[in-house]
């Protein structure tokens, strides 16, 4: 298979200047507004390399086979645009709108698509085409006439690719951290070595996809099809999987959460060492590191794991009521339906942790005042945490960082969110009776009545 380079290396492209492009854009704008003299932008096979198209409206435009190498398209509107076999290598498409765009056979190697909207975009294979002398298109005669879409080494952090078609595409060494991939079709795609940390892959199709060496910590994979998926060396520690997926033989080659050989004895010894470490101010004992362990369903109420390292730990359904976990690192942890009621979680790190349905009633998630001359405050970090349907009644969340957190359907009755950062947080359907939001940052928050 060939990777996309436009309609063929021998195809001529006309170079446009910025002023020529601006004239075309003005006519396209008139076309979009149904104004006299408006003409749909036809940039087929044009060379727009290195030009600045930031914020422009090229929705429904024809850019098939266009060369947009290193073009700047920040915030551009390319919805429903035809970008068939376009060359978008190293292009900056940050926050661009590409929903339902035709990107079959396009090359996005090294492109930046962070926070872009790629809902229902088509990134499947295309057929290699050429132009004849009269300007007509014809298919390549050779067997190897398929253009495979390529996203190798692209940066797609926080982008929305819901229901996108990415079958057979090259997505190797690509940064998809926090991307929304709900219902995305990745059949037979090559995702080798890609970073999918914190991704939402709910109901995605990874059938026969190659995920060898990929990172999926904190990724939500419930309902995701993984038939014949290659997980060799893939890191799935902290990934959210359902029971049926956990039984899949495909996961045997993946790196999964560990279990203790002698859970009771080993855990007791680690906790005793940790307590000694705390009481001695770090001079004796050993700081507890329970990262990547599976302690789901365990009774750990009243436990003292303050300042412990608990990254990617699985504590699904565990009883941690009244536990002391101040300044502990629980990033990417699986705490679904865990009981954390009245727990001391001041200054805790819950970044990208999954706390769906967890009980945090009366939990302390306020700041910790570090005893230094500067009077530094250590805030609880719940950035991008998943708290859907969680119980946070009367919880103390003063000054907490909840940017990008999912609080949909959460019960925040009587909770204190004074000076909390709720930038981009989703509060759809959240119960906010008696919730204190004094001086809270609520820019771009979803579902919060004005």
Q: Phi first, then psi: give them for residue 23, nearest 5 degrees.
A: -65, -40
143 pLDDT above the threshold of 60 = no
419 pLDDT above the threshold of 80 = yes
Report the mean per-residue pLDDT for the chain: 91
Q: What is the mean pLDDT of residues 157-162?
A: 98
Q: What is the mean pLDDT of residues 346-365?
A: 97
Helix (H, G, I), strand (E, B) or coil at 246: helix
The pLDDT, as a whole number, for residue 213 is 97
Q: What is the DSSP string of 333-377?
A: -B-TT-B-TT-B-TT-B-TT-B-TT-B-TT-B---EE--STT--E
The CATH number assigned to the domain holding 299 equals 2.160.20.80
Is 319 within the bounds of a domain? yes
pLDDT band for 8, please (50, 70, 90 cuts).
Answer: very low
The pLDDT, as a whole number, for residue 11 is 53
Q: What is the mean pLDDT of residues 260-264?
A: 85
Q: What is the C-alpha to C-alpha distance for residues 385 and 382, in angstroms, rounded to an integer?
A: 5
Is 31 within the bounds of a domain? no
The pLDDT, as a whole number, for residue 374 is 58
Per-residue pLDDT reduced to its tens digit, 188-241: 999 999 999 999 999 999 999 999 999 999 999 999 999 999 999 999 999 999
Is the distance from CB of 223 to CB of 243 less than 8 angstroms?
Answer: no
Is 121 within the bounds of a domain? no
User: What residues form DSSP beta bridges with 42?
Assistant: 62
Q: How many CA atoms lie within 13 A of 385 on its CB side?
A: 30
The pLDDT, as a whole number, for residue 9 is 41
46 pLDDT above the threshold of 90 = yes
Is 420 within the bounds of a domain? yes
As a dihedral over the C-alpha atoms of residue 77, residue 220, residue 227, residue 84, rounded to 10 degrees, the angle is: 10
Tell me the CA distances in angstroms from 197 to 98, 123, 431, one per residue in order: 23, 22, 29
Is the distance from CB of 425 to CB of 443 less than 8 angstroms?
Answer: no
Is the distance from CB of 322 to CB of 306 less than 8 angstroms?
Answer: no
Q: What is the mean pLDDT of residues 287-300?
A: 94
173 pLDDT above the threshold of 90 = yes
Total domain count, the chain: 1
Is the distance from CB of 335 to CB of 315 less than 8 angstroms?
Answer: yes
Helix (H, G, I), strand (E, B) or coil at 225: strand
Is 248 within the bounds of a domain? no
Helix (H, G, I), strand (E, B) or coil at 97: strand
Please report the sign of the dihedral spanned by the C-alpha atoms of residue 396, residue 399, residue 405, residue 409. Answer: positive
| Residue 45, both tokens | 């096979």
Pick from 405, 398, 397: nearest CA to 422? 405
Per-residue pLDDT reduced to its tens digit, 431-445: 999 999 999 999 999
pLDDT band for 13, please (50, 70, 90 cuts).
Answer: confident
Buried b (16+ CB within 10 A) or exposed e, 61-96: bbbbbbbbbbbbbbbbbbbbbbbbbbbbbbbbbbbb
Is 345 within the bounds of a domain? yes
**Position with higher pLDDT, 146 vs 447:** 447
Q: What is the mean pLDDT of residues 361-382?
A: 85
Structural domain of 321: 258-450
Q: What is the mean pLDDT of residues 268-278?
A: 95
Is 267 within the bounds of a domain? yes
pTM: 0.87
Is the distance from CB of 65 to CB of 7 less than 8 angstroms?
Answer: yes
Is the distance from CB of 102 to CB of 124 less than 8 angstroms?
Answer: no
Task: Write the DSSP symbol of residue 382.
Answer: -
Is 85 within the bounds of a domain? no
Tell me the CA distances in angstroms from 267 to 74, 300, 316, 356, one per residue in order: 51, 10, 17, 26
Q: What is the C-alpha to C-alpha distance for residues 28 and 12, in angstroms, rounded to an integer?
A: 24
Pick from 353, 436, 365: nearest CA to 397? 365
The pLDDT, as a whole number, for residue 18 is 83
The pLDDT, as a whole number, for residue 260 is 83
């Amino acid at each position: 298979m060939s990777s996309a380079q436009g309609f063929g290396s021998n195809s001529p492209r006309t170079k446009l200047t910025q002023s020529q492009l601006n004239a075309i854009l003005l006519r396209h704008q008139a076309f979009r507004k149904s104004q006299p003299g408006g003409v749909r932008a036809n940039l087929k096979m044009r060379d727009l390399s290195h030009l600045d198209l930031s914020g422009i409206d090229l929705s429904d435009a024809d850019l098939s086979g266009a060369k947009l190498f290193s073009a700047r398209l920040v915030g551009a509107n390319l919805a429903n645009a035809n970008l068939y076999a376009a060359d978008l290598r190293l292009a900056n498409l940050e926050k661009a709108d590409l929903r339902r765009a035709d990107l079959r056979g396009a090359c996005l190697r090294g492109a930046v698509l962070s926070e872009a909207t790629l809902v229902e975009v088509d990134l499947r294979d295309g057929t290699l085409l050429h132009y004849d002398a009269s300007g007509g298109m014809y298919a390549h005669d050779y067997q190897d006439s398929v253009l495979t879409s390529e996203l190798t080494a692209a940066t797609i952090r926080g982008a929305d690719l819901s229901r996108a078609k990415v079958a057979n595409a090259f997505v190797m060494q690509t940064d998809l951290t926090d991307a929304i991939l709900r219902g995305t079709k990745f059949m037979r795609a090559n995702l080798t070595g890609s970073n999918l940390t914190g991704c939402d892959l709910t109901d995605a199709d990874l059938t026969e996809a190659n995920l060898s060496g990929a990172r999926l910590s904190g990724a939500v994979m419930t309902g995701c099809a993984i038939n014949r998926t290659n997980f060799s060396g893939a890191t799935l520690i902290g990934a959210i999987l359902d029971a049926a997926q956990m039984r899949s033989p495909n996961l045997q080659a993946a790196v999964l959460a560990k279990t203790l050989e002698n859970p009771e004895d080993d855990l007791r010894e680690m906790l005793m060492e940790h307590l000694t470490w705390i009481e001695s101010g770090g001079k004796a004992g050993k700081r507890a590191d329970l990262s990547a362990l599976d302690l789901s369903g365990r009774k750990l109420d009243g436990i003292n794991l303050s300042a412990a390292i608990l990254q990617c730990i699985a504590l699904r359904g565990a009883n941690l009521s009244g536990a002391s976990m101040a300044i502990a690192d629980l990033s990417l942890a699986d705490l679904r339906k865990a009981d954390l009621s009245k727990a001391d979680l001041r200054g805790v790190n819950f970044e990208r942790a999954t706390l769906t349905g967890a009980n945090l009633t009366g939990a302390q998630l306020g700041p910790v005042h570090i005893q230094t001359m500067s009077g530094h405050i250590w805030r609880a970090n719940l950035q991008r945490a998943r708290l859907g349907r969680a119980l946070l009644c009367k919880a103390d969340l003063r000054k907490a960082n909840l940017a990008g957190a999912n609080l949909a359907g959460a019960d925040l009755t009587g909770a204190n969110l004074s000076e909390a950062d709720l930038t981009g947080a989703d509060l759809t359907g959240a119960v906010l009776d008696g919730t204190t939001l004094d001086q809270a940052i609520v820019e771009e928050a979803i579902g919060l009545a004005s």
